[in-house]
Structure 1
Amino acid sequence: MWEGRAIDDEDDELQEARQKVIEANRKIRQRDKEEADAIAAAETNNGEPGVNELAAVDDAATENANPDVELVSDESSLDGKSNSSHYIPSDHPGSYNDRSSNSGSEDEFEVRPTSRQRFDGSSEIPQFTLGMTFASPAEFKAAVCTYAILNGKQLRCVKNDKLRVRYICVGDCKFVIYASNERNDGSFVVKTYYPHHECGRGDNRNKLARSSFIAQHFRTRILTDPGIKIRTLKTLCKTLLKVEVNTSVCRNAKAAVLKEVMGCYVEEFRNLWGYVRELRKSNPGSTIILKTCTNNPEKKNYFDRLYICFDALKRGWLVGCRKIIGVDGCFLKGVCKGILLVAVGRDGNNQMFSIAWAVVAAETSVIWTWFIRVLQHDLHLGNGADLAIVSDMQKGLTRAIANVLSQAEHRHCARHIYHAFNKKWKGQERKLGFWLCSRAHFKEDLKDKLKDLSQLGKGIVEDVLTWPVERWCRAYQRTDIKCDVVDNNMAEAFNGWILDSR
């Protein structure tokens, strides 16, 4: 019975099928020879073949024909040319192994010569036929995966090598598709195919829904919207493909598509020196710094950091902006990882004004000191006597500002302080009380706000004063800066504005 057959018995089955086809071709050649001899004898006797002679030849050919093998000659035989090909025409209806007409055991496959129909990859759901050819095993496996996922079938690959691939159904049915390499032309041909499923639609988890399939299926969607969210991709898989995939599969699929589009980024890094030369040529007076390092076993020049500040941005900040700068760092989320450092100012209308940026490997005290020093040189800041710097509470950045711009007013972002404060003291009233304290206009007003805040919890005032109040309260800010902001929202907004790019 079919259920009792071992998977590796397929080779014997294929050999038996080939022998049947070879025997059928031999009988065809014998029939053609007998028919030609009968025609020649009739022409010799009467000048034309007789009806009785041709009928006798046809009867003999019918008796010698193999009743188990359907033989159809090629279309070229209609033109009078001899053709012994056992393949049916490409437009012949049906080419899969149908057992319904098999008069033998249900467990045996009917051997039928098949057409060399090329697989059509443009169809939404792949359709297979016996004898269908594929360019490679990879194309065959991709087509089977698409078929299984779109039809909700759980298939398992039980044989997978360079010469043959076989899939069977995990469910309680006899579905099988087997393809192997063709010795003559090297194509990959479907040799065994039983398409009927006796199982229902599987669950929403399909092991064939890997990141490679998701990347290929949603490639156009990802290319048109490179900033697509991972959760959006998961939702598309659930609604359109009816499969549940985890976050890592969608993340890897998106990364694979974007990496393919970006090309070889190693070659792009080699072109950075040319990029710097073009920037300096097209923007005279700009500061473009590219540093490399050779601290590696190969002693090659690896990218270290890149700083850019255009001349127009320098002059714009010096002439038309307030003397306040917000500095912040954010992650680069593409194929090439790293940190983007930004310096953002405020113009006369309190609008965002980008000044300079740098791509570095990490946010360290050394890197921040280098960034602040270059910024000091470009904007002629001196020791920062008439300047205010707004940043988060990163220790490396705080030390860099204290060392380079010792006379500058360093403000800590009140929003970062509130996030730390909110971990212990939650609630809308406490949130309002904190922001009233941060925006107090003078010191006596701050004392009143702290007194009101003390009513909302024992020890709440002591906790809020653990952060130096002169760094985050408006009452301690200088008035000559002409800007009373207590947060670093401009730099945070700039990082969010360039999110798709980074």
Structure 2
Amino acid sequence: MVLIYVKSGEWISSCGDQWSFLADKTRGGRMVTLETTTLLKQLKIIVCEDYGVDHMLVNAEFSYEMVNQRGNPPIIISNDRQVSNFVSYTKKSSSTTLFVTLSATGAKEKERVNIDLNKEPFDSSNFEDEEVPETNQGDFAIPSKESTHKMKNHVATDGFGDAGLRSENNGSIDFVKKDQIFRSKRVLKETMEIWAMKNNYDYIVLKSTRKWWYIRCKDKLCNWTLHAECLDGFTYFMINKWVGIHSCAPSKKRKFEKTASARTVGKLIQHRFDDANDGPKANDIIQFMRLEHNCEITYWQAWEVREHAIAAARGIPNESYAKIPKYLQMIKETNPGTHTHYETTEDGRFMYLFMSFGQSVRGFYNAMRRVIVVDGTFLKNKYKGVLLVATAVDGNSNLYPIAFGVVDSETEVSWEWFLRQLKVVIADSKDLAFVSDRAASIAKALGTVYPRMEVHRFTDGVYTTATWRTVYAESINPIAVPKVDWNVPVEVKLAKVLPPEARKSSGRPVKRRYETVEDKIRSSQE
């Protein structure tokens, strides 16, 4: 049995054969429970029931996409065997989403849908220059209907592919064209940064607003220029003026670092960073840029590129805080009985977070001793803080997590807040015991939140400096004299200890082909 997130909408594809799913905002998403034995007919009934529609009156087409195959055509589920395959795949990849397209019974099957500018794009926010959102496969250039026949062979799947970033020197046609449309200003800027880096040119920005973006070559006498305009009511940017041939001399070329930012170059290599310790180092990045892009960068620039690549691969910390409300809500929907809570300051700054899974609480009440260990440890990320935990010990002497909390520091206020949230799932009772270190803030908070609990100071006299020094007051002495000078009693000197009898190994005896160390020592003593 596996929990699966279901999203309603329809698939669309651009002229570059990049597929993406346009979600129906009015229907939203649902969570369903499926097994490998679930039939396609049962799946349709379950999903239609959750969406509040009659399964007899609608057609439901189910599909999904592979985690590492974003942008490719979706996999359609059309029979019971494919439902079983999907559930088995979901067990291995928990981030898989089931897509469903609902249509009225009797309606003709929809043909391939091209992206329509009259529809709201997926990323409807207009990014500012300092924001660092993720770059997806489907973000880049979508040609307008008027210029499709001119550009359909030059639409890149993403802004970092070599297919549209070809150099003028080899006679290839450039990726950027007049009437070219980009999903956002950010995508357009990144594309031009990489284009300038690959062609070893530099440009200056003449105008940059939410509506316009003008750039020209850094050489004032050069004719190279680009004007882009944001389409009214959308985040799309279209190039309405483009002079793509440089009239400046090669000696006027500038260094790469003045055009392509470390953030943009970091996205070029972020796929190499599954982990911060496994990705390329700064010197490797310098070599990569020299060989792959014919660019020279300094060690400091390579270090910044590496930091941006790690941030892009891991996720940016300050953007993660914005996902807390949605994340906690999905955790509660996915895990019934889970208690989560977070608090912020008056200006919206993060303060506290608490999470206790319903499965852990039920397991504690059903099969655990009523002993809870509470403690905290420091967090070493950008924003610091302290991780508070409440754990128990199961019958196999393994730690059993009950609750987690993130606070600013280990104070009486933060511990009291954490324990009050814990009290929501673990009620106060006389048979409940807490184990902690000798922190005064924990003792005060426990006395306030759990007044019925009896306090036993079994270890107060043990965890002191004086007691510690007493335990380790004596040390183990080594033998100070060599073996020949050992002075022992006669009976000890005459005592003999022989080795145990050697056990003959079973099977045919192995012929010794060389003299062992024991044989050499024995022969030397004879």
TM-score, normalised with respect to structure 1: 0.42
Greater strand fraction, Structure 1 or Structure 2: 2
Greater helix fraction, Structure 1 or Structure 2: 1
For the pair shown, the structure with the greater C-alpha radius of gyration is: 1
TM-score, normalised with respect to structure 2: 0.40
